[in-house]
Amino acid sequence: MTKFIPTPHNKANEGDFAKTVLMPGDPLRAKYIAETYLSDYVLVNNIRGIQGYTGNYKGNRVSVMASGMGMPSIGIYSYELFNYYGVENIIRVGSAGGMNKDLKVRDIVIAQGACTNGNFAHQYNLPGTYAAISSYELLRKAVDSAEKMKLRYCVGNLLSSDTFYDDGMRTMDWAKMGVLAVEMESAALFMTAARAGKNALTICTISDSLVTGEALSAEDRQSSFNDMMLLALEIAE
């Protein structure tokens, strides 16, 4: 595979990204994380407005870059980071819709795995159904840190959906199989990491409940998920 840097979607130079990249969907959330938590940060990518920053957190070099929305988008950016820029760990930090009655708005879900109604795995020509799971090392660190930080969290399965406006799809049927929440990226991230031999984890904050109808505003989704962001930063190295 020819490695071309910069890539079609990333103007950063070799070495501009840290070993660990936090990846929110929203470019403004990436900017918020850099400005709020990182020291000496620099903008290393802004192609298509997908802002990427590298700075320092508690002495560790850390990067943060947006993924955009959906599995095709995070598939592109995570592929380039893993395969062209030498990134070893990507931690998705995003919002999710709760599908479990015990999950409250602003609760944290640490993803053990991700189901999907999409066909991202088709590219790998596997003779069966692939189970997309997170990296155990990152998962264990996140759980240990969440305990120390006394956060309200759950560990379990997500649904990565290809559709937001689903035209009547029976999303809540996944809850019958123990799926905790729905989002749109994690399955593709986990598959891309597995194929590259790298590590990935998703930490989500519940932004709305499909059970109760409770929901946060767009402004809250952008900047108020501080516990999730701090948890991801604590395990970055």
The whole-angstrom separation of Cα 181 and Cα 141 is: 21
| Intra-chain end-to-end CA distance of the chain, in Å | 28
**Catalytic site residue 40?**
no
Q: Which of 167, 208, 220, 227 is catalytic?
A: 208
Secondary structure in 3-state letters for 170-221: CHHHHHHHCEEEEECCHHHHHHHHHHHCCEEEEEEEEEEECCCCCECCHHHH
Sole residue written with tokens 């940060």:
41
- The catalytic residue positions are 208
